Amino acid sequence: MSESAKLHPNPQGKGEKTHGSDFSYVGIDAILEQMRRKAMKQGFELNIMVVGQSGLGKSTLMNTLFKSKVSRKSVLPNPEERIPKTIEIKSISHDIEEKGVRMKLTVIDTPGFGDQINNENCWQPIMKFINDQYEVYLQEEININRKKRIPDSRVHCCIYFIPPTGHCLRPLDVEFMRRLSKVVNIVPVIAKADTLTLEERDYFKQTIREELRANGIDVYPQKEFDEDAEDRMINDKIREMIPFAVVGSDQEYQVNGKKILGRKTKWGTIEVENIAHCEFAYLRDLLIRTHMQNIKDITGSIHYETYRVRRLNESNALFSSQPSDHPAVQPKTNGQPEQQPSTLQANGVAAQHEALSHEM
């Protein structure tokens, strides 16, 4: 049974309490302040993955986004410029703070992606990494003695770099995005957009959008997760601009007396944060200023839950088909395919994960 009762709104504005004179004020909206304090105390976590061929400017873009040297290349003392023979997954974490808000930012780099001669199945290690993070979280969640705050290493957002060919998406791009849009939020961007003129850029974007639609690829913000009409309106505007054409830079130049981030060329200086030049500002606003919480929510409540449902169902199926008196035959169901966290056999991917990745 539910009753609806309206309290008189406090005419003096939020946060002011007056004892005695205005007794229609209860103080329920003080909970917002309490939540804010709690959030500031706990701090936030964000895990971003960057995927794309080498040389597309992924590390630079990360550095530009967060205005500090957060990428792997800036951290390693002597970054090797070789292209690795296999896809590696490297993550670096930093604690950054702005106006009292602390955030643990993890940038996950994937050197070697798309660089081999034969790129078939190059999404597999990435998919496996993402699923492993979900697995770790799931294991902690179903523990009996679990931590107060489960450490969140799940990939919240995957930025996919499309090389600026100006024509259309390559088969590698389509394959990768098709498979991964089901497990993680994908934000496609056109890298090194300063090589395209505005018309070429518009044409490229339109082609990409059509191809995404034709292949049934749902990139962030996904249409089905719009909460209400207002949300849909905002997200529709974003969807019309995807993919963002970005330029990254961590060099500062003087333009018109102001110091701005940009790329200086003989024919002019490209200002990174100027929306007439490139769409970096839109990307930054989307990822950081307006939709960051939403990205984390969708990861947590939709992608993670999908993984969880599949995983629990699959464990059930595995168990009901296994005779219980053959413990040696039972596959390990505690998640990690290897007992030690270090090396993985070349073909020794565990039964479940094999099953999971084959589904893709």
Partner 1 sequence: MASSDVARQPDKGVRPLSLAGHVGFDSLPDQLVNKSIYQGFCFNILCIGETGIGKSTLMDTLFNTNFENFESSHFEPQVKLRAQTYDLQESNVRLRLTVVNTVGFGDQMNKQESYQPVVDYIDRQFESYLQEELKIKRSLHNYHDSRVHACLYFISPSGHSLKSLDLVTMKKLDSKVNIIPVIAKADTISKSELHKFKIKIMSELVSNGVQIYQFPLDDETVAKVNTTMNGHLPFAVVGSTEEVCVGNKMVKARQYPWGVVQVENENHCDFVKLREMLICVNMEDLREQTHTRHYELYRRCKLEEMGFKDTDPECKPVSLQQTYEAKRQEFLVELQRREDEMRQMFVQRVKEKEAELKEAERELQSRFEQLKRLHADEKATLEEKKRLLDEDQSSFSKRRAAAQLLQAQSLTANGKKDKDRKNSGFM
By CB under 8 A, what part of segment 108-167 binds partner 1?
116, 118-122, 124-125, 128-129, 142-146, 148
Q: In what order do the strands lie in the sheet with 157-162?
A: 101-109, 44-51, 157-162, 186-190, 244-245
Tokens of 21: 């004179």
CA-based nearest residue to 21, from 29, 6, 10, 32: 10
Binding residue (CB under 8 A) for partner 1 from 16, 32, 79, 233: 32
By CB under 8 A, what part of segment 39-68 binds partner 1?
39-41, 44, 46, 65-68
CB of 98 to partner 1, least distance (A): 5
CB of 330 to partner 1, least distance (A): 8
SS3 22: coil
Phi/psi at 302 (5° precision): -120, -55
Tell me whether residue 209 or residue 308 sits nearer to partner 1 (CB atom).
Answer: 308
**Distance, CA of 7 to CA of 25 (rounded, Å):** 8
Residues contacting partner 1: total by CB under 8 A: 103
Looking up tokens 């499309």 gives: 162
Binding of residue 254 to partner 1 (CB under 8 A): no
Binding of residue 83 to partner 1 (CB under 8 A): no
**Distance, CA of 279 to CA of 274 (rounded, Å):** 8
Q: What is the CA radius of gyration of the chain?
A: 24
CB of 245 to partner 1, least distance (A): 20
Binding of residue 70 to partner 1 (CB under 8 A): yes
Binding residue (CB under 8 A) for partner 1 from 37, 167, 237, 264: 37
Contact 171, 314 (CB under 8 A): no
Tell me whether residue 44 or residue 203 sits nearer to partner 1 (CB atom).
Answer: 44
Binding residue (CB under 8 A) for partner 1 from 34, 78, 256, 265: 34
Binding residue (CB under 8 A) for partner 1 from 80, 81, 82, 100: 100
Contact 48, 107 (CB under 8 A): yes
